[in-house]
Amino acid sequence: MPELPEVETIKLGLLDKVLGKEIKDVDIKEPKLVSFEVTKFKKAVSGAVISNVRRRAKLLILDLSNKNSVIIHLKLTGQLIYQGKEGKSTRAIFYFTDGTRLVFNDWRKFGYFKLVPTDKVEEFFQKQEFGPEPLEKNFTLECFYKILKKKPKSKIKPFLMDQKNIAGIGNIYSDESLFDAGISPLRLIKDLSEEEVKKLYKSIIKILKEAIRYKGSSVDAYVDIEGGKGQFVPHLKVYRRTGQKCFRCGGTIKRITLGGRGTHFCPKCQK
């Protein structure tokens, strides 16, 4: 599933390509994409101008000029491609009055569009109980300490992936942040030293910013809005490098299952 850097990259692309465009029509090819409310959805967005594009956690928000917003969750295989071609996996197409279009593809059909009044978007996300955004100013070291103290007996890797603790971090960037900080994903939060917490805090921010700079990691279906792959994969240090040498210590990268997810780390230098 696309994580914070991938969704942020798509958000920035949408701001560049579709901000200010008027939606002429939308073709919903998969009714469950909009909870089978196809007529209502089409009526609500047609004729509206995209006034803003935002991100919260791993979701996108298209704010419209008519005081409605479209919340988009890409889930596992969702793609938004500007001027994309229609294919077998195309589930929706936004047509703009200037002749351009935005195509939504989704092989697995898990993604969704949710129509919400713009003034109710914050209420929608409050119900999701997302944690703070790790790249916003309010995510301070003190904030991180407070979050960690809520679940001292939790293992650090599953904790980082829980969206109710911190928003937007998934399997890739929890692995990479823990490696950068030199912390084993198996460690209990209560056993982390003050110095280790500081290192992890800095590593999370560092890794996420670097991934955004390289437009994310295309390890599965993710592409940016022009259909291009993210360029962060060559910079991954542990994720999907099972059996390969550690770049830091020369040890062997190991893969285990933790919290139901594949977890990659170096047992030699992550303590």
Query: Rounded distance, CA 192 to CA 15, Å?
Result: 40
Q: Check if 2 is active-site.
A: yes
Q: Check if 58 is active-site.
A: yes
Cα-Cα-Cα-Cα dihedral sign, residues 139, 240, 243, 213: negative
* Reduced DSSP (H G I as helix, E B as strand, rest coil) percent helix, strand, coil of the chain, to 5: 35, 25, 40
| Both structure tokens of 209 | 């910013």
Q: Check if 132 is active-site.
A: no
For residue 64, the 8-state DSSP code is: E
Yes or no: say if 10 and 18 are a contact pair by the CB < 8 Å rule.
no
Helix 141-149 and helix 194-213, axial crossing angle in degrees, nearest 10: 120
Query: Rounded distance, CA 89 to CA 221, Å?
Result: 12
Catalytic residue among 109, 206, 248, 261: 261
Yes or no: say if 143 and 178 are a contact pair by the CB < 8 Å rule.
no
Catalytic residue among 2, 5, 134, 185: 2
| Both structure tokens of 147 | 């979050």
Q: Is 212 helix (H, G, I), strand (E, B) or coil?
A: helix
CA dihedral of 106, 110, 111, 116, whole degrees rounded to 10: 150
Catalytic residue among 21, 56, 58, 199: 58
Q: Check if 261 is active-site.
A: yes
Yes or no: say if 67 and 44 are a contact pair by the CB < 8 Å rule.
no
The catalytic residue positions are 2-3, 58, 261
